[in-house]
Chain A
């Protein structure tokens, strides 16, 4: 039949042959990719390749086999868990474990199929989902692999990956990058094998049978196609592929939880969308779909829920408008196929493709090894919990960090060992600088409402007992009229007294309200760092379960008994446990002794009250005037005395000097005086702050205040680095700026204790003797003699000297920073005209806090400090400073960091009604002052420069560490 011979059956076309050749080249390029692409691109490619594998498997099931499953996550999870089990529990090398996981997937798919195949069509779909749920719930019971909270791949398993050494040598990379490369190669190999196998399968008899089943099961069966066997084969194949991919993905993630491994969204919804958008029932579609999903994810994943909604809508639209997807549309339009599976009849009238060319075989690259655990950063749901910043501790440092980071929009998790915040009043003096931070956070008013105001804080009484003789009095905390002006002029905020028990809930409340995820009764256990972040192991003390939190940075604010500083081996200088001290909390109505001299502190000079403790006995007001706390020392060599409430009450009554007063001791706690500071606050991605790095007695009231300033200094830097706008070396300036402050305050507070000794000496309280002897020695200063006068003068001097503890405005407010994040303007540091510890010296010299003056914005009194902060840089200039405003806008655009410019003066947005800014700015009307987000001057210029944009951009780049 010559006529018949002109018809031939062809599988390939010339175009498809060429396409296959191109494909081989593409694969070769992909194999070589680690040599010339970045590590993050490689991780992206890994993601695309694994999604291609899963999509191809699902496409085979649904697109060719007609088995619409929404339970493929069962096999991803199974594979992942099997892989972990083989590697961790049986010590298999990860490569072997992946293969073994594939076998497990195949084996378990058979009984699963036995059950779900009883359901048809849509019910089959949900049936597979139920099966996946059953697997998920069962694996959540597998305690050896962490149960419901999952587990991480131990580093020794990660290290055991074959080929790492070779890759390190060839590509000259770190071992973590080498493992990424190996993972990538395995993913590439898997993708090529899966696509090749499906392609080969579809061109066989069985493959044709499948298409026949899909198109018409009855007809197919009637001509002898065994539908059930072909479907089972497809189901097992897809399960195996998903299990292999699952094991690979989770070895790369290095950590697993049942929720993520069996996630219907991650492993089925996305896969389904990939296939449908790319083109179902084609081999090309899933590849295109995976690339599209990757692109969408890169561009839009930040939009979170909106992204997922849009993805859902896109899939619906494709299904309704172009049900064959993108590749289906291409095929219909151009009749082109890279992987032709259909046979076509070619006759005389058919334009003849060059079918004589054999189809190119797809060669897979040789495996080199397999990746184990390095902690990748590109993949989602790697750890039980992920966040940007993990904060350990909810005290003033931790709480302020949480509140500040949340106010900047930085995701953070704060964990706290105990069930609630401070349980004793501890810190209470809340200085102006702290109030300025609270003001920025919007909780100044709330704090003020719960505080005792400045006016009631300052009759610092030195006496033999509350009921006894008053030896002297010092107006403290800025209450002396001459100091009141200093304090009032320096800040928009007032110093106040608010016990830690009341302040912490306000700060932490704000933090949680604005986004901080906090976990109480959760204890920090350990952490490890890598190039991309920190993985902390924490223990839920309620459920007694440990889990891991992955963060990009960690803040160690775990207090004076810090475990983190110890684990990091931060160099600590000084000593702990110098003196023994106890806090006796009690209730008693003492108003009759204090109403005429309201204060937060009453210092008691009695024989013995100088032993241990903080220099003298103290009665401290906690709440006016019925809740109190006594600080009383003990000899640290003898250890805590373990008093009964009765004994404690006796001490209190002794200090009050009235045996009849009704005293109820509510709490007794012991502590020691420490004199210790870390000479370095951070290591890598872990930053310590607060008492963890500066440990000192409560004298001067600087502990909580300094802790909050630590947070205020670090958090904006973390924000800019996390947003990719500043270089990581900006974070080094945290230590450079804050460590000297810590050192200073630790020294200052301990010195204040020692300043009591001369008072005891002068009062003659140090020598032993009978009460009468002591009384006589104390009264010696009352004689009209020269010797007694000298005594009186000395005592007066010593009491006045206590201003270094109680009116230390320069230490409270006047800290200056020197670091790379402060750019000098060439002028020398202004001279201190008064004592630098006692007095705050306002200046706009770079490195100083921006001076406070009152300004006017729309008839509203606004402080310079209200203009700055909130995570932005602010540039302040005068009426002639329009050039700086423009420069700020340009520098903002250039650096992508918000620089808000304000012109200050008549006719400007901000009016200098009092003229104070003109007096205080120290730059000319056309000059500028650049203020960092923490209110510190980063740079200033005396006048408008020739190229303000260039200058300002350079300064910003310097501060951001990008030069």
Chain B
């Protein structure tokens, strides 16, 4: 029973990590950009929701939607005005610029919101749980998180493989030069992708803030979880990312049962083991 409980918690935690990872995976897949400020943008998203709820008194669903729109605009502008200028053969500029952004975001939030830990209050929902029989229960929020992760991935797969925009995404990803020759405006596509990624980031931020406390400085550690989920799952596959998130979630939950200090560490260890045994991840896209 205890084992089963741990498994359920781990899988549900994996849903959160999959949400963390999807945005990262999306961006890397399309423009080979690793956004080192990814984790910090999640925290920005969480604070955005918090401010809308606490300062304006909006209901959380509405606040989240508004934050999603704001992040979409932010993502588009960020890519258009800044990040597009860093893309190229050299990997250093995008890494450094996003690293710089990460530090600016962390300290900007620290200045604005102080180092206090916060939490998004979902009211009675926060503590509610669904009985699964046999004394087992799953929290409503973790279940919602997991469901959202699945929905986001379903939506992205639909977008990628069933729409015109998705085709442009895939084309640019496969070969940006040729795509451009075919009349695709790469800058626009990249900006759209970043905008989309930041919407996913905002959703991730919402659940990050609802499931646990957050503060302005925890972004980088969440980036690492996202990154590990992507690598474990294998580059280029959203479903792989979900599996990667679940494996990471399970590893951490099981590790935490051994000792709370081992939670993060066991996630890292599983990541390293996967890296040694299957360097391309568990479910890589056949053609990279």
- Give the interface of A toward B (CB within 8 A): 62, 68, 70, 114-115, 118-119, 121-123, 125-127, 129-131, 133-134, 137-138, 140-141, 148, 264-265, 269, 272-273, 276, 280, 304-306, 308-309, 311-313, 315-316, 319-320, 323
A280 to B86, CA, bound (A): 16
Q: When the two chains form their complex, are residues A140 and B99 in contact, meaning their CB atoms are under 8 A apart? A: no
Residues from chain B with Cβ under 8 Å of A265 in the complex: 103
Residues of the A chain whose Cβ atoms lie less than 8 Å from the Cβ of B159 = none
Are B275 and A148 in contact (CB-based, < 8 A)? no
Residue with the greatest number of chain A CB neighbours at <10 A, chosen from B36, B94, B103, B269: B103
Cβ contacts A to B, 22 pairs, < 8 Å: A118-B276, A119-B275, A121-B34, A122-B94, A122-B95, A125-B91, A125-B95, A126-B34, A127-B231, A130-B271, A134-B269, A276-B96, A305-B110, A309-B108, A311-B103, A312-B102, A316-B97, A316-B100, A316-B101, A319-B97, A323-B90, A323-B93
Contacts A119-B231, A313-B104; A129 near B224 (Cβ below 8 A) = yes
Q: Are B100 and A312 in contact (CB under 8 A)?
A: yes
- Report B-chain residues with C-beta under 8 Å of the C-beta of A68: 91-92, 95
Alpha-carbon separation in the docked complex, A129 to B228 (Å): 11
Check B32–A122 contact: CB distance below 8 A: yes
Interface residues on B, range: 35 or more
The 8 A CB mask of B191-230 against A (1 = contact, 0 = none) is 0000000000000000000000000000011011001100
Chain A: CB-nearest residue to B278: A118
Chain A: which residue is nearest B94 at the CB level? A122
Q: Does B261 contact A (CB under 8 A)?
A: yes
Cβ–Cβ contact B34 & A125, under 8 A: yes
Check B104 against A122 for contact (C-beta < 8 Å).
no
With an 8 A cutoff between CB atoms, is B6 at the interface? no
Contact A137 B261 (CB under 8 A): yes
A133, A269, A276, A319, most chain B CB atoms within 10 A = A319
User: Contact: B103 with A312, CB < 8 Å?
Assistant: yes
Distance (Å) between the CB of B223 and the closest chain A CB?
Answer: 8
Picked from A123, A134, A306, A311, the residue with its CB within 8 Å of the CB of B34 is A123
Q: Does the CB pair B99–A269 fall under 8 Å? A: yes
Q: Which chain B positions have C-beta within 8 A of A70?
A: 36, 95, 99
Q: CA separation between A319 and B231, bound complex, in Å? A: 28
Query: Which residues from A are CB-within-8-Å of B271?
Result: 130
B61 adjacent to chain A (CB < 8 Å): no
B111 adjacent to chain A (CB < 8 Å): yes
B264 within 8 A of A: yes
Identify which of B94, B96, B231, B261 contacts A123 (C-beta below 8 A).
B231
Query: At the interface, yes or no: B131 with Cβ under 8 Å from chain A?
Result: no
Among B85, B95, B272, which residue has its beta carbon within 8 angstroms of that of A134? Answer: B272
Contact: A115 with B261, CB < 8 Å?
A: no
Asked whether, in the complex, the Cβ of B228 is within 8 Å of the Cβ of A130, the reply is yes
Q: Hey, which chain B residues are within 8 Å of A319, CB to CB?
A: 86, 92-93, 96-97, 100
Residue B59 at the chain A interface, CB threshold 8 Å? no
Contact A320 B100, CB 8 Å, known A70-B95, A122-B33, A137-B264: no
**Which chain A residues lie closer than 8 Å to B224 at the CB level?**
126, 129-130, 133
Shortest beta-carbon contacts, A-B, top 5: A122-B34, A305-B107, A312-B103, A312-B100, A118-B279
| Residues on the A chain within 8 Å of B94, using CB | 122
| Alpha-carbon distance A323/B94, docked complex (angstroms) | 11
Residues of B within 8 A of A130 (CB): 224, 227-228, 268, 271-272
A320 pairs with B95, CB closer than 8 A: no
Is the C-beta of B136 less than 8 angstroms from some C-beta in chain A?
A: no
Q: In the complex, how many angstroms separate the beta carbon of B101 from the nearest chain A beta carbon?
A: 7
Evaluate contact between B264 and A305: CB separation under 8 angstroms.
no
Interface of B with A (CB < 8 Å)? 28, 32-34, 36, 82, 85-86, 90-97, 99-104, 106-108, 110-111, 220-221, 223-224, 227-228, 231, 261, 264-265, 268-269, 271-272, 275-276, 279
A121 B86 Cβ-Cβ under 8 A: no
Of A129, A134, A264, A305, which one neighbours B108 at CB under 8 angstroms?
Answer: A305
Q: In the complex the two chains form, what is the Cα distance from A311 to B103 in whole Å? A: 9
Contacts of B269 in A (CB 8 A): 134
Given A130-B272, A264-B220, A315-B99, 9 additional A-B pairs, CB 8 A: A119-B275, A122-B33, A126-B36, A134-B269, A269-B103, A272-B99, A305-B110, A315-B96, A319-B86
Cβ of B34: which chain A residues have Cβ within 8 Å of it? 121-123, 125-126
Cα A101 to Cα B223 in complex, Å, equals: 30
Instruction: Report B114 CB to chain A, min CB distance, Å.
Output: 10
* Residues from chain B with Cβ under 8 Å of A115 in the complex: 272, 275-276
Which chain B residues lie closer than 8 Å to A312 at the CB level? 99-104, 107
Closest chain B CB from A205 CB (angstroms): 25
* Distance of A308 Cα from B102 Cα, bound (Å): 11
User: In the assembled complex, which residues on chain B have CB atoms less than 8 Å from the CB atom of A305?
Assistant: 107-108, 110-111
In the docked arrangement, what's the CA distance between A118 and B276, Å? 8
Neighbouring A residues of B32 by C-beta, 8 Å: 121-122
Residues on the B chain within 8 Å of A138, using CB: 265
List chain B residues, Cβ under 8 A from A131.
Answer: 272
List residues of chain B with CB within 8 A of the CB of A320. 82, 85-86, 93, 97
CA distance A787 to B231 in the complex (A): 104
Across-interface contacts of B228 in A (CB, < 8 A): 130
Nearest CB of chain A from residue B36's CB, rounded to whole Å:
7
User: Which of A62, A264, A269, A304 is in CB contact (< 8 Å) with B92?
Assistant: A62
Return the chain A residue nearest B34 by Cβ: A122
By beta carbon, the residue of chain B nearest A118 is B279
- Nearest neighbor of A310 in chain B, beta-carbon distance: B104
Contact across chains for B265 and A134 when beta carbons are under 8 A apart:
yes
Give the chain A neighbours of B99 by CB distance below 8 A. Answer: 70, 269, 272, 312, 315
Q: How many Å from the CB of A962 to the closest CB on chain B?
A: 35
Q: Which residue on B lies nearest to A314, using beta carbons?
A: B100
Given A115-B275, A118-B279, decide whether A308 and B103 contact each other with a Cβ distance below 8 A.
Answer: yes
The closest CB in chain A to the CB of B231 belongs to A123
Docked CA distance A265–B104 (Å): 12
Q: How far is the CA of A922 from the CA of B102 in the complex (A)?
A: 62
* A913–B86 CA distance with the chains assembled, in angstroms: 70
Chain A residue at minimal CB-CB distance from B33: A122
Which of the residues B108, B227, B276 comes within 8 Å of A126, measured between beta carbons?
Answer: B227
In the complex, which residue of chain B has the Cβ closest to the Cβ of A315? B100
- Indicate the member of A62, A70, A272, A305 with the most B CB atoms within 10 Å: A305
The CA-CA distance from A319 to B269 in the complex, in Å, is 34
Q: How far is the CA of A272 from the CA of B268 in the complex (A)?
A: 24
Shortest CB-to-CB span from A17 to chain B, Å, is 32
Is the beta-carbon distance between A306 and B111 smaller than 8 angstroms? Answer: yes
Partner of B104, one of A126, A137, A309: A309
* A134 CA / B268 CA spacing, docked (Å): 6
Instruction: Specify the chain A residue showing the minimal Cβ separation from B217.
Output: A265
Q: Distance (Å) between the CB of A586 and the closest chain B CB? A: 42
Scoring B106, B107, B224, B276 by chain A CB atoms within 10 A of each residue's CB, the highest score goes to B107
Q: Is the beta-carbon distance between A316 and B96 smaller than 8 angstroms? A: yes
The answer for the CA separation of A306 and B272 in the assembled complex, in Å, is 36
Min C-beta distance of A303 to chain B, whole Å: 10
* A127 B220 Cβ-Cβ under 8 A: no
Chain B nearest CB: distance from A676 CB in Å? 43
List, in ascending order, chain B residues with CB within 8 A of A62's CB.
Answer: 92
